[in-house]
Copies of this chain bind each other. A is one copy, B any other.
Amino acid sequence: MNMKEGVGENSYAKNSSYQKSILSRAKPFIEETIVELYNRTSPQCLTIADLGCSSGPNSLFVISELLKAISVVYQKLGRRSPPEFQVFLNDLPENDFNTIFKSIPYFFKKFSSENGQEVGPSFVAGVPGSFYNRLFPTKTLNFVHSFYAVHWLSQVPQGIENNKGNVYLARTSPSNVYKAYAEQFNRDFSVFLSLRSIEMVIGGCMVITIKGRRSLNLPSKDIRYFWEVFSKTLSDMVSEGLIEEAKLDSFNLPFYTPCTEEVQTIIQSEGSFDLNRVETFDVDWDTSEDYVNREFVCDKIKSGKFVANMARAVVEPIFVSHFGDSTIEDLFCRYAKDVGEILAKERPMTTTLVICMTKNETS
Contacts and interface: CB of A to CB of B under 8 A. Distances in A.
A138 interface: yes
A54 to B, nearest CB: 14
B93 A45 contact: no
Contact of A127 (B45, B121, B123, B135): B123
B128 A104 contact: yes
A117 to B, nearest CB: 14
A175 interface: no
A131 interface: no
Contact of A84 (B47, B84, B129, B137): B137
Nearest to A84: B137
Interface string A159-188: 000000000000000000000000000000
Interface stretch (A28-36, A94-102, A277-285): A94-102
B98 A102 contact: no
A341 to B, nearest CB: 39
A93 B101 contact: yes
B127 A125 contact: yes
A191 to B, nearest CB: 15
Nearest to A101: B128
Interface in A111-127: 121, 123-127
Given A123-B127, A126-B125, A126-B126, A94 B102 contact: yes
A140 interface: yes
A45 B121 contact: no
Interface in A33-91: 44-45, 47, 84, 86, 88
A330 to B, nearest CB: 29
A45 B138 contact: yes
A134 interface: yes
A136 interface: yes
A12 to B, nearest CB: 15
Interface string A193-221: 00000000000000000000000000000
B93 A96 contact: no
A241 interface: no
Given A97-B98, A98-B97, A123 B104 contact: no
Contact of A124 (B44, B96, B105, B128): B128
Nearest to A92: B101
Of A94, A101, A127, chain B has the most CB atoms within 10 Å of the CB of: A101
Contacts of A128: 101-102, 104, 124, 126
A105 B84 CA distance: 31
B123 A136 contact: yes
Of A84, A94, A137, A140, chain B has the most CB atoms within 10 Å of the CB of: A137
B125 A88 contact: yes
A96 B96 CA distance: 10
